[in-house]
């Protein structure tokens, strides 16, 4: 007998979220509507026609592998429905819009001033400046991961990859459609550093592995561009290229 006979829709959704949190991959899979790809393409044409094919490809991937879809809390647009596909088009496009950096609004702990003076020899007159610069440095560091994805997208998307903007896919940042019948999708997860917090990829059970790559190392200097998993793209990706992209991106926002 269907569970919905005894439990509200909200209760079922909560139960599925709990299952996904504590028992990754065991929540009931949700099938996507049959014509999800065409709905996605038409929806994105209303938002940003230049992204229509990219969004349609992403939705096709999710329709093929619904377990890879990030959970949604919208009762009016359940995962896999036509309304879900239409609404997520806006998120996919909006997350790609340029975003000017904003200074952090965090209020520093006053004890930091005591420690800076007593343990690190910072002059009392320099403490406020040092704390302010530290906050700005933290804010800049928080931006690097997003800027890295933007740089990679600028190089990878013209080569057939799609940036999974809009947080629609669990633990995956870029996808590429199979190059031949029977081949697997290519999935890539990127991190800025080798010790960055890693979203759980164990929750995705889609029959193909997720390639993982990080840009820098936490215990030694240097970058990891030589280890980028797509050999065809490796020669077009570099630390100098990343720096040039970031400078241009930020200058355009001024």
**Average pLDDT of the residues in 172-190:** 94
Please report whether residue 34 resides in a domain.
Answer: yes
Please report whether residue 66 resides in a domain.
Answer: yes
Task: Compute the distance between CA of residue 217 and CA of residue 104 in angstroms, rounded to an integer.
Answer: 25
Task: Compute the distance between CA of residue 249 and CA of residue 35 in angstroms, rounded to an integer.
Answer: 37
**What share of the chain has pLDDT > 90, as a percent?**
67
Please report whether residue 84 resides in a domain.
Answer: yes
Q: Which two tokens stand for residue 151?
A: 């740089």
Residue 57: pLDDT band by 50, 70, 90 thresholds?
Answer: very high
Please report whether residue 55 resides in a domain.
Answer: yes
Rg (CA), the chain: 22
Task: Compute the distance between CA of residue 164 and CA of residue 175 in angstroms, rounded to an integer.
Answer: 7
* Number of domains making up the chain: 1
pLDDT digits (tens, 9 = 90+) for 118-142: 999 999 999 999 988 988 888 888 8
Instruction: Kindly report whether the global pTM for this prediction surpasses the value 0.85.
Output: no
Please report whether residue 187 resides in a domain.
Answer: no
Please report whether residue 54 resides in a domain.
Answer: yes
Please report whether residue 208 resides in a domain.
Answer: no
- Please answer whether residues 61 and 67 qualify as being in contact, where contact means their C-beta atoms are separated by less than 8 angstroms: no
- Full residue range of the structural domain in which residue 40 is found: 7-96
Please report whether residue 215 resides in a domain.
Answer: no
């Amino acid at each position: 007998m269907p569970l919905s006979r005894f439990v509200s829709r909200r209760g079922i959704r909560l139960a599925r979220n709990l299952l996904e949190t504590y028992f990754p991959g065991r929540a009931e899979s949700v099938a996507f509507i049959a014509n999800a790809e065409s709905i996605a393409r038409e929806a994105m044409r209303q938002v940003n026609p230049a992204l229509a094919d990219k969004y349609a490809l992403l939705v096709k991937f999710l329709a093929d592998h619904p377990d890879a879809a990030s959970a949604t809390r919208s009762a009016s647009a359940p995962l896999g429905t036509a309304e879900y596909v239409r609404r997520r088009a806006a998120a996919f496009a909006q997350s790609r819009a340029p975003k000017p950096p904003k200074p952090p609004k965090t209020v520093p702990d006053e004890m930091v001033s005591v420690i800076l003076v007593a343990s690190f020899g910072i002059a009392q007159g320099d403490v406020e400046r040092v704390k302010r610069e530290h906050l700005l440095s933290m804010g800049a560091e928080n931006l690097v991961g997003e800027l890295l994805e933007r740089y990679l997208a600028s190089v990878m998307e013209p080569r057939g990859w799609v940036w999974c903007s809009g947080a629609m896919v669990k633990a995956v940042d870029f996808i590429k459609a199979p190059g031949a019948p029977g081949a697997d999708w290519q999935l890539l997860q990127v991190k800025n550093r080798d010790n960055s917090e890693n979203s759980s990829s164990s929750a995705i059970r889609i029959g193909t592995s997720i390639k993982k790559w990080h840009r820098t190392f936490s215990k030694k200097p240097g970058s990891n561009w030589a280890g980028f998993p797509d050999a065809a793209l490796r020669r077009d990706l570099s630390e100098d290229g990343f720096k040039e992209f970031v400078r241009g991106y930020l200058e355009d926002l001024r």
